[in-house]
Amino acid sequence: ALILLKREGLVVERGRKGQMVAPIDPDKLRAIYQVRGGLDRLAARLSASQFTDIKNAKKRFSAIFKAGEKAVKSISINQLVNADVAFHKFLHELSGNAEILTTAETSWPHMVRSMRAVLETGAGEASIWAEHKAISDAVINGDAELAGALAEQHAEAAGEETYQRLKRHEDNNAAA
């Protein structure tokens, strides 16, 4: 298990002291978000242009949004992260492209760590869900270009915001 975690960049050597959880690397995380932005754009475009079961999609999105609202009210980081992941995974699933799911799967451990770091600061829960709603509305309305653009903007903005927060934290620690 440790070998797998090291390969995924989640565990690093600590010299003679053994191993430890890897710190979040702002540059790596920014790169992951950029890739995810492209994947999410593709997933949203495909979802909006090809699915036929609008009733089921609305039902699934509704359940995800209820979980998100409940998480925001409870201020539970675990619930917030789970609801956020559920939204993106459903969007990937709805695309009908299994390679999107497979490709995104490798970055989820890093993304979840990032989501936790951002959400623990109490930043942006409402705007995150407003962006999710706009993406889902565009998908359900069949507007592939809008859905794709919104999904990519959402991922890249989250990545840039997280990058900036992590860099400030690094700078503050270096100055201390």
The CA distance from 118 to 173, in Å, is 17
pLDDT of residue 162: 82
pLDDT of residue 96: 93
Nearest to 117 by CA among 74, 70, 161, 154: 161
Residues of the chain with pLDDT under 70: 1-12, 20, 22, 118, 121-125, 176
Residue 19 forms beta bridges with which residues? 13
96-104 contacts at long range (C-beta below 8 A, 24 or more positions apart): 96/46, 96/47, 96/50, 96/51, 97/42, 97/43, 97/46, 100/39, 100/42, 100/43, 100/46, 103/39, 104/36, 104/39
The CA distance from 159 to 140, in Å, is 25
The CA distance from 163 to 158, in Å, is 8
Are 48 and 144 a contacting pair, CB within 8 Å? yes
Residue 53 forms beta bridges with which residues? none
Length of the chain in residues, anyone? Answer: 176
The CA distance from 85 to 164, in Å, is 22
Token pair of 175 as six digits: 């100055």
CA distances to 29, 30, 104, 162 from 3, rounded to whole Å, are: 21, 24, 21, 27
Query: pLDDT per residue over 123-161, tens digit each?
Result: 566 788 899 999 999 999 999 999 999 999 999 988 888
